[in-house]
Structure 1
């Protein structure tokens, strides 16, 4: 459980710090890379988040498929950290591929746990937030209204939240059985 807390503390501290520095929510966690004075902080935060989380999700995985998903999710997050400059055409392919791998694999991993149901309220909250946000920012351009809600940032927060919730619930059950 200590590793989950460390992993969560790293990503939460990084995200909170960059939101405070920017005085608001960025378009994505990855977009914060461009606002940093010390660019290595982004890569270190992503890599350390994944490396501390990996042993936990590996141990909580009850099948070969879940272990592959756990590995893919963590490797993807490390890839995001290693290829942060997504404005570069070549790096963009690595960054976006890694981000997609992390998002899809982590959510499939959560879906394979006994706590798959955490996905429902978290993703419903994301959808409701987006719809309400779009309704407050009606410009006649639905794409612009959608982008104004900063959906990528909230999508990343939803994916992280569901992963950490599933890990926390699994450890709570594990502690009860001891």
Structure 2
């Protein structure tokens, strides 16, 4: 439980700090890399989050498939931290591949747990928020309105919330 709390605090503190510094929500957590004076903070935050979370998701994984998904999700997050400069064409492939690996693997892992149902309210909240935010905008085509909702940031938050939420629920019941 201690490792779960540390992992959560690392990513929550980083995300809160960069949102406060930017005076708003970024387009993605990764986009905050470009706003930092000390660029290593981004990579360290992603790697520490994954490294502290890994023993937790490993312990909660009851099947070989779940363990593979746990490994993939954490390696992906470390990859995001090791290749933060996604504006570079070559690094972008590593960064986006790692981000996709993390997002997909983490949500599949959550789906394999007894608390799979956590996915439904979290992702429904994301969809409802997005629809309302698009509806409130007066000007622009649909794609512009959608991008203005900062969907990548909220997808990342939803994935983190489901993963940490399931871990928290599992430890609460152990």
**Shared topology, TM-score over 0.5?**
yes
Q: Does 1:110 align with 2:110?
A: yes
Gaps of 5+ in 1: none
Distance 1:10 1:124 in 2: 26
Q: Give the equivalent residue in structure 2 for 1:16.
A: 16
Residue correspondence of structure 1 range 96-135 to structure 2 within 5 A = 96-135=96-135
State the Cα distance separating 1:16 from its structure 2 match: 0.1
Structure 1 segments of 4+ aligned residues over 4 angstroms from their partners? none
Q: Give the equivalent residue in structure 2 for 1:90.
A: 90
Gaps of 5+ in 2: none
State the Cα distance separating 1:137 from its structure 2 match: 1.2
Q: Give the equivalent residue in structure 1 for 2:170.
A: 170
Q: Which moved more, 1:61-70 or 1:134-143?
A: 134-143
Residue correspondence of structure 1 range 8-47 to structure 2 within 5 A = 8-47=8-47
State the Cα distance separating 1:139 from its structure 2 match: 2.3
Q: What RMSD in Å do the two structures reach over aligned CA positions?
A: 0.5
State the Cα distance separating 1:62 from its structure 2 match: 0.3
How many residues align? The count is: 174
Deviations, residues 123-142 of structure 1 (Å, cap 9, x unaligned): 00000000000001142411
